[in-house]
Structure 1
């Protein structure tokens, strides 16, 4: 399968530091690699309703739900570009991941098997210089990938608070040049033995 990247912008600010860093990393992808960018603020998902035991599920076709479902299925690589908000992913990113629960029960689509082996990546900008504060965000993405049997490419972290700050983080910009070139291992839960 030819690589196809889905970049999900999950910030409440357009052209924010996280998006700038994600775009710098994406510039390094070969020209024949498809890139699709979806701004979750412009395509908001409705509140997620957990209907696992209450109703029949149907393939989503309308609005943001159908758009994101189809884009997710078409991608080999999914990039969650979320700023660090209260030490985890943004509300938009969390809502998108919540929808995976419903998609697991979509008839005719074995969502978990379909996603297995694909790669989940993260890009985030944070106002802290101690990147350890992003551990909950990294854990959310790693554990989501592990549950789905996906590969986890890690999270590209950059420092920035005011608009454009991340472009002064020379270490983050250097990491962006090779971030998507690495071979991503299968994700594992932290308590699993290698």
Structure 2
């Protein structure tokens, strides 16, 4: 299967530090690797309503929900690019993951089975020099991957607050050069970092 990366941008700022770092990492992918970029600010999802036990489920086919559903199923690699907001994912990125709960019951999609064995990655920029403050964000992505039976490639971390700051983080840019080249292990409970 040809690798197909879905980059889900969860920032409220265009061309923010997280996106710049994600694009630096994506530049290293081979030319034959497909890339799809979806900015959640341009493709707003309505508030997630948990109807898992209350209604019949249908495959989302229209609007932003349908777009993200199809893009997620088509991806071999899903990259959640979210700035660190209050020590976790942005609201937009968390809402996208919330939709996974509903998609688990979509008839004919086998959402969990389809994503099993594929890879979940994260990219984040944060204003702290102590990267440990990103542990809740990393844990959220790791545990989501483990639950889905996915591989977890880890989270590429960079430092930046003002627009463009991350471009001065030479260590993050160096890590970006090889970030997607690593072999991602199957995510397992308890929490393990690659």
TM-score by length of 2: 0.98
Distance 2:130 2:68 in 1: 33
Aligned ranges 1:18-29 → 2 under 5 Å: 18-29=18-29
In 1, Cα distance between equivalents of 2:63 and 2:70: 11
SS in 1 for 2:35: strand
In structure 1, the partner of 2:56 is: 56
| Paired position in structure 2 for 1:130 | 130
Q: How big is the shift at 1:189?
A: 1.9
Aligned-residue offset at 1:191: 5.8
Residue in 1 that maps onto 2:165 = 165
Cα distance in 2 for residues equivalent to 1:189 and 1:92 = 26
CA separation of 1:191 and 1:127: change in aligned 2, threshold 3 A: closer
- 2:113 & 2:154 partners in 1: Cα distance? 21
What is residue 180 of structure 2 aligned with on the other side?
A: 180
CA distance in 2, matches of 1:4, 1:102: 23
Match of 1:98 in 2: 98
Question: Which residue number in structure 1 is paired with residue 11 of structure 2?
Answer: 11
Asked if 1:81 is matched to 2:81, the reply is yes
* 1:169 CA displacement: 0.2
1:88-121 Cα distance to aligned partner (Å, 9 max, x none): 0000000000000000000011111100000000
Deviation at 1:168, TM superposition (A): 0.2
- The count of residues paired between Structure 1 and Structure 2 equals 192
What TM-score comes out, normalization by structure 1 length? 0.98
Residue 58 and residue 90 in structure 1: after superposition, are their counterparts in 2 closer, same or farther (change >3 A)? same
Say which SS state the counterpart of residue 36 (structure 2) adopts.
strand
